[in-house]
Structure 1
Amino acid sequence: MRTIVILFSVLFILSSTSCATYVEARPANVTIIKSTPKRYKIVKVKGKRYYFWNGNHYRKTNKGYVIVRV
């Protein structure tokens, strides 16, 4: 009886784990802009600083500016 309980518990544990061991992450398509144009505006949204020009909000990074949704 004891071996049957152990066997069923092992089978339950093995069947409840996921088979996926690796998920490949795709790189996001991000356009980096090196410098701001002459006429940009600094906008603060919820305490965070964004740059606005050409109808888009941008955020400053180490490599340049990237488009973000606000």
Structure 2
Amino acid sequence: MRTFVVLLSAICFLSLSSCATRVVTRPATVTVIKSPPKHYKIIRVKGKRYYFWNGKHYKKTRKGYVLVRV
């Protein structure tokens, strides 16, 4: 009976702990531009749409345009 209790507690302990971890890193500051300038260009890279102006690439989001690295 004691072996059964030890085995059961070991199974419960292992099922509650997880070896997988998730690390999410985000930039400290994100610059959101509400509207692009009139001279922007639409560029496609690997099937994704980016907006290009002033030598930088931007991605359109619900809040505006966010600077990205392509």
Where on the TM-score scale, by shorter chain, does this alignment land: which range? 0.5 to 0.7
Q: TM-score, normalised by structure 1?
A: 0.65
Per-residue CA deviation, residues 24-45 of structure 1 (Å, 9 max, x unaligned), is: x887632210111232221001
The ranges of structure 1 where at least 4 consecutive aligned residues each deviate by more than 3 angstroms after the TM superposition are 25-29
| RMSD (CA atoms) | 2.6
Q: Which runs of 5+ in 1 are unaligned?
A: 20-24
Residue matched to 1:40? 40
Alignment size in residue pairs: 63
Look up the SS of the partner of 1:38 in the other structure.
coil
Q: Which runs of 5+ in 2 are unaligned?
A: 19-23
Residue matched to 1:7? 5
List aligned pairs for 1:11-30, cutoff 5 A.
11-16=9-14, 17-18=16-17, 29-30=29-30
Q: TM-score, normalised by structure 2?
A: 0.65
Identity %: 54
Aligned partners of 2:26, 2:52: CA distance in 1, in Å? 25
Residue matched to 1:66? 66
Look up the SS of the partner of 1:39 in the other structure.
coil
Higher mean alpha-carbon deviation, 54-63 vs 25-34, is at 25-34
Aligned partners of 1:18, 1:45: CA distance in 2, in Å? 41
